[in-house]
Each structure stands twice: as C-alpha cells, then as structure tokens.
Amino acid sequence: MSDELKAAAIQVADKAYDESRPAIEPLVQTFANVFKMTAFVTGLPAATIGSLPSAYAASLRAFQKLRDAIPEPNRQPPKESIVYSLVQTIPAADEATEAQELFAQLLASASDDRSVSRVHPSFASIIAELSPVDARIIATWKRCSDNVRRSPIDFYHLGRQQPAGDVSVSLENLSRLGLLYSEVDLSMSPPKWVITRFGRQFVDCCCPPQTEGG
C-alpha cells in the first residue's frame, strides 16, 4: 500500500472514530462501572466507593452494612447480569433514601447464597420505576402474610404530606409492575389490595426489614 493510501486510510479511520465516539464512550464507561462495582461488592481491597460515580454512593454504603451481616460462608459474588442492571438503573432512579435502600438490599440478596435464587433480573429496573411512596407501600408487606387484603386507607400515612390521591396512584403503579393486584368486590368499598407471588419475591429480595411502625 502506498503512503498516500495509508494516509487516506488513517484519515478515514480517524473520522469514523470521531463520529462514533459519542456512542462508544457511554458504553465503555458502563462496562468500566460494572467492573468497578463487581470489584467493590466482592470485597477487593483496591475497590472503593470513591472509584465509582457519586450516584452509586448511597446504595453502596448501605450495601456495605448488609454485606457485613451476611455470614462469611454464605457470601458470593453477584451475577454479572445483576451488577450490569444495577449500574444502568441506579443513576436513573429516584435519589430518595427509599430507592437507595432497595438497591442495597437487592445487591445484598444477590450476594447471599441463601437468597440469590429468588433474585429476578427485572428487580433493579422495577426499583427505578418506584416513587418514594410506592417504595414505602410495598415495603409494608415485609411484615404481612401473602393473604392479607389491605385498603388504600391503610397507606395514607405513608404519603406523609402528599394528597391521599397519590397513594391511589402508587397502588396502581405497583399493580402495573406486577407487585400487587386489587380485588374488586361489590361488598367491599374501597377494593382491597393483595400482594402477588412476584411481589412477594420482590419484597423478600429488595425490601429491608421493617421496624415496628415502619
């Protein structure tokens, strides 16, 4: 190949790289974050929270405490698919404490051989679609049996300063996500809400233990 052709080929390659760079860089950064988070959750000494973007800090600090509570023989590296899903969804999720606690608990469940089999790949993306009120409502099932039927009134206090109508919206969103369903009965007003089997699995894997009054 002549020098002229080599120079032309280099110019074409440089142009192609410059044009594709905006699309490539986020992908490279995502995989870098997956590697860093995997290193962190598996306890490598060189991996620190500071090595990851600040969006992950709250969840990883909460995870540290949960990981320490897992008996050493039961600890295991989480599946790469779960870590990848978390890397993608945590920055897009609500920054409220509720969401960060759910992410931390999910990561802990994925790192524990006693619970990892119940971790569904969609859980991370579901957390990203929860509002703080959604998260508070679904977390209350941590202390409830599967056959409990609950009224929207039971959750009004979880809306705190928000209108009661927001609780209804949250219940509908939890239903849309497959975590709850409503039982419509003419003898019951308002309708009662029940957790699904998928919802129970989500609660078991993602919701922190509830304290009295929580």
119-168 pLDDT, tens digit per residue, is: 999 999 999 999 988 998 999 888 887 778 888 888 877 665 555 567 88
Mean pLDDT of 90-95: 78
Q: How far apart are CA 55 and CA 99, in angstroms?
A: 12
Does any domain span residue 167?
yes
Handedness of CA 79, 81, 82, 87 (dihedral sign): positive
Adjacent-strand bridge partners of 150: 193
Angle at 211 between CA 142 and CA 158, to 5 degrees: 75
Does any domain span residue 48?
yes
| Range(s) of the domain holding residue 156 | 1-206
Does any domain span residue 45?
yes
Quick one: pLDDT at residue 168? 86
Q: How confident is the model at residue 1 (pLDDT cuts 50, 70, 90)?
A: low
Tell me how many domains the chain contains.
1
Does any domain span residue 211?
no
With beta carbons less than 8 A apart as the criterion, state whether 133 and 174 touch.
Answer: no
Does any domain span residue 102?
yes
What is the greatest pairwise CA distance in the chain?
87
Q: How far apart are CA 39 and CA 128, in angstroms?
A: 23
What are the phi and psi torsion angles at 180 (to 5°)? -130, 160
Quick one: pLDDT at residue 6? 47
Q: How far apart are CA 24 and CA 67, in angstroms?
A: 33
175-188 pLDDT, tens digit per residue, is: 999 999 998 766 66
